[in-house]
Chains A and B, each alone.
Chain A
Amino acid sequence: MTIKFWLNGKQIEDIIPDDILLLDYVRTKGCYSVKRGCETANCGLCTVLVEGKPVLSCSTLAARVNGKHVTTLEGLQKEAEEFGAFLADQGAEQCGFCNPGFIMNVLAMMKELNDPTEEEIREYLAGNLCRCSGFVGQERAIQAYLAKKKEEVSE
């Protein structure tokens, strides 16, 4: 079937298998940041934004994004660098394999939640598993990032 959609701001028209998953499809388009960590929708590694909302690309048919805007970390390099620097300053990126999906969801959280509490942050990001960091360093990075964002706003 044919789909026409926006991938990281660029319009794409393509012929795709009807049952290809968005995860597999965007990888064929060079979006290698999108990873598969499970088959049961539990890990969050494949998180992308569809119309700005974080979704699991492992559970989304590519056919379903016809006419929509899809964003992967490749399309948010500036934001990834900005937040990623805070992760890197904690050493919490570790193996890095879960990072793209995690960062996508952090960026989605920043849009959806205003001044979230520690508990709200944990709850929003609960679907992003990480086996290296024990999550604690990720949370230090988020707190530092939020503090900087607040500072920017007050300046």
Chain B
Amino acid sequence: MFHAKNYVLAQNLEEAWQLNQKKTNKILGGMAWMKMGKQNYQTVIDLSALHLDQIEENEDAFSIGCMVSLHDLETNQQLNEYFQGALKECVRHIVGVQFRNCATVGGSIYGRFGFSDVLTCFMALDAKVELYKGGIVSISDFASMPYDNDILVRIILPKKGKRISYQSMRNTATDFPVLAVALSFDEQEGWLISVGARPGKAVVLCWQEGTSSELSEVQIDNMTAYVLENISFGSNMRAKKEYRQHLCKVLIKRAVKEILK
């Protein structure tokens, strides 16, 4: 567990941002990851009072506040109806309900963890990240940005009519994924293939052949070959690189088939 001298419940984003400019201060997410650290902080900053625990829908997008819990993501009807249950599928394996009531979307995305199911899924949905000072950036840009002192305020999921499938392989039901694949399709952007737990953080590729109602076996093979060529894989305690490469092919195929259904 970390130590902190002060806890501050921020009254507005500006106050939170000001506090966060100090290196020894830190914004709290759901704490599921952060509490495993042993750091000494001066001040931990809580965004709980800023009404950022809301999922809002308008014509163009869903907006998900950074303090929305993973369990909220899992049970939100509109989101899951729109995205064919993919959000539920991507979080339901994560440890347990109590954990998902703690862990926040903001924490998951800000952490840019290699194992993150949420990051993998959001990447295939072409999500945008709203930063307090940095404005709106694409999630894949955000994923490669260095950790800075800005505040992740919300995630925006554009409503582009994407078909999506989320696939993951885990050694036990509630473990981190050995590999996670999120695949989406819409007429304008074609296929987005996001691969997480490589074990590095998720990366996303575009692929323009075929449609969601038609993709031949050869085209699927081409797609997986393209992904394997352009995404690097590694080894850790959960699996070696070669097995992840193998899994990647399997999971992409399964995702395509689910979308083609």
Contacts and interface: CB of A to CB of B under 8 A. Distances in A.
Interface of A: 1, 18-19, 21, 39-42, 44, 47, 53-56, 58-61, 63-64, 66, 105, 108-109, 123-128
Give the 9 A-B CB pairs with smallest separation, nearest first.
A127-B96, A18-B7, A19-B4, A63-B7, A54-B98, A59-B102, A59-B31, A55-B101, A56-B98
Interface residues of B, number: 28
A55 B102 contact: yes
B39 to A, nearest CB: 11
Interface in B14-51: 28, 30-32, 35-36, 44, 46, 48
25 contacts: A1-B7, A18-B44, A19-B2, A19-B3, A39-B1, A41-B95, A41-B99, A54-B98, A55-B102, A56-B32, A56-B102, A59-B31, A59-B32, A59-B99, A60-B31, A60-B102, A61-B7, A61-B31, A61-B46, A63-B7, A64-B46, A66-B9, A109-B97, A126-B97, A127-B174
Given A53-B101, A59-B32, A19 B7 contact: yes
Nearest to A3: B7
Given A59-B99, A108-B97, A127-B96, 10 more contacts: A18-B6, A18-B7, A39-B1, A41-B95, A53-B71, A55-B98, A55-B101, A59-B102, A66-B9, A123-B92
Interface of B: 1-7, 9, 28, 30-32, 35-36, 44, 46, 48, 71, 92, 95-99, 101-102, 173-174
A1 B44 CA distance: 13
A58 B7 CA distance: 17
A105 B102 contact: no
A47 B101 CA distance: 11
A74 B207 CA distance: 56
Contacts of A39: 1, 36
Contacts of B98: 44, 47, 54-56, 105, 127
Contact of B35 (A59, A105, A108): A59
